[in-house]
Amino acid sequence: MPTLQSPQSQAGVMSFYDAPTNGPKINPKIIMAIIIIFVIVVLVLDRIHFGG
């Protein structure tokens, strides 16, 4: 049976995700563009390799 969680038990998780990081800040649009370009390159290479 699932247990009920109080807001106090979830506060630690929220503070973990809200914690500032010292890592690089990258725009999500750039990440999506990189992923889309990677998928297109893989599909093109696949079509070239197998003769589509």
Question: pLDDT by residue (tens digit) across 9-38?
Answer: 555 555 656 667 787 888 999 999 999 999
Residue-range definition of the domain harbouring residue 50: 24-52
- Tokens coding 51: 């003769």
Asked if residue 36 is part of any domain, the answer here is yes
Using the predicted structure, report yes or no on whether residue 39 has a pLDDT greater than 90.
yes
Asked if residue 17 is part of any domain, the answer here is no
Rounded Cα distance, 52 and 21, in Å: 45
- Tokens coding 24: 């690089």
DSSP 1: -
Asked if residue 19 is part of any domain, the answer here is no
pLDDT at 10: 56
Which has the higher per-residue pLDDT, 3 or 29? 29
Amino acid at 39: V
Number of domains in the chain: 1
Q: With bands split at pLDDT 50, 70 and 90, how would you rate the model's confidence at 41?
A: very high
Asked if residue 9 is part of any domain, the answer here is no
| E strand intervals along 1-52 | none
Asked if residue 8 is part of any domain, the answer here is no
Asked if residue 50 is part of any domain, the answer here is yes
